[in-house]
């Protein structure tokens, strides 16, 4: 099938990302796998090609506005990855990143394993598990240079899920919509308690759209106390205040 890639190339140019033909083909193959699997499994409400390009591909690649990725061999965790966002787009664009995709639903993890195999992506694994349990495992706790999440949860809860995975000196970046001031205010104590410090909030408009976005950049400045994350379900129900 022939696709109109003009908006994709325009958005990539604005993000200063250049892709090879092979990488573009990987994005298209991913799109086709996503929409095909979505017929039998609820992966995304967004399936129209241009919308996927804008809201799933370019939006996820916008991480480059907050963190330098080019040529860096980072160990990155995409927590609550769902259908592979933002991890798969980031891995396609920056193949040198060592990537772990983590999700609590095994059906999604099996789909992601199919995707990485079909796209021949190397240095990427998909893991089934809850953040509260996985963050207590030695091979994951404080073991990543960068943790990213676009999960729909408040920043205090997300910080408790994500910060324990990040090494001291590393970063947790949360993808948020435009207005984050109230959330930032409410999560300040939690971020500090977990060993983090808000370093930056990068605000921008998604290319070719009216949608406003914020990337909240939290630096890990000291180890997370062993008490965190709390037991499964608690961070979501009772956010640290």
- Which H, E and C letters describe 127-193, residue by residue? EECCHHHHCCCCCCCCCEEEEEECCCCCHHHHHHHHHHHEEEEEEEEEEEECCCHHHHHHHHHHHHH
pLDDT above 80 for 152: no
CA distance 143 to 91: 18
pLDDT above 80 for 199: yes
**What integer pLDDT is reported at residue 48 of this predicted model?**
92
pLDDT above 90 for 211: no
Average the pLDDT over 122-151 and give the result: 97
- Chain mean pLDDT for the chain: 95
**What integer pLDDT is reported at residue 134 of this predicted model?**
98
Structure tokens at 92: 């396609």
Using pLDDT thresholds of 50, 70 and 90, give the confidence band for residue 3.
very high
CATH 3.30.470.10 fits 6-237, yes or no: no
pLDDT above 90 for 154: yes
Average the pLDDT over 45-62 and give the result: 93
**What integer pLDDT is reported at residue 153 of this predicted model?**
87
Give the start-to-end residue ranges of the domains of the chain: 6-237
Q: Higher pLDDT residue, 125 or 47?
A: 125
pTM of the model: 0.96
Using pLDDT thresholds of 50, 70 and 90, give the confidence band for residue 175.
very high
pLDDT above 90 for 232: yes
């Amino acid at each position: 099938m022939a696709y109109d890639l003009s908006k994709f190339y325009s958005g990539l140019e604005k993000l200063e990302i250049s892709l090879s033909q092979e990488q573009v083909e990987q994005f298209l193959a991913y799109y086709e796998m996503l929409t095909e699997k979505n017929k039998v499994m609820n992966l995304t409400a967004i399936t129209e090609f241009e919308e996927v390009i804008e809201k799933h591909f370019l939006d996820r690649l916008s991480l480059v506005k907050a963190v330098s990725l080019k040529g860096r061999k980072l160990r990155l965790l995409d927590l609550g990855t769902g259908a592979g966002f933002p991890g798969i787009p980031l891995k396609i664009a920056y193949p040198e990143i060592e990537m772990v995709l983590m999700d609590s639903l095994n059906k999604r993890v099996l789909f992601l394993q199919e995707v990485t195999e079909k796209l021949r992506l190397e240095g990427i694994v998909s893991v089934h598990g809850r953040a509260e349990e996985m963050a207590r495992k030695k091979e994951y706790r404080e073991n990543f240079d960068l943790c990213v999440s676009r999960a729909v949860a408040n920043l205090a809860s997300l910080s408790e899920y994500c910060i324990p995975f990040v090494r001291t000196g590393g970063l947790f970046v949360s993808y948020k919509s435009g207005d984050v001031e109230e959330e930032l205010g409410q999560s300040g104590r939690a971020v500090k308690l977990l060993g983090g410090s808000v370093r930056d909030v990068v605000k921008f408009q998604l290319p070719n759209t009216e949608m406003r976005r914020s990337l909240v950049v939290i630096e890990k400045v000291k180890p997370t106390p062993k008490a965190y994350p709390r037991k499964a379900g608690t961070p979501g129900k009772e956010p640290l205040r």
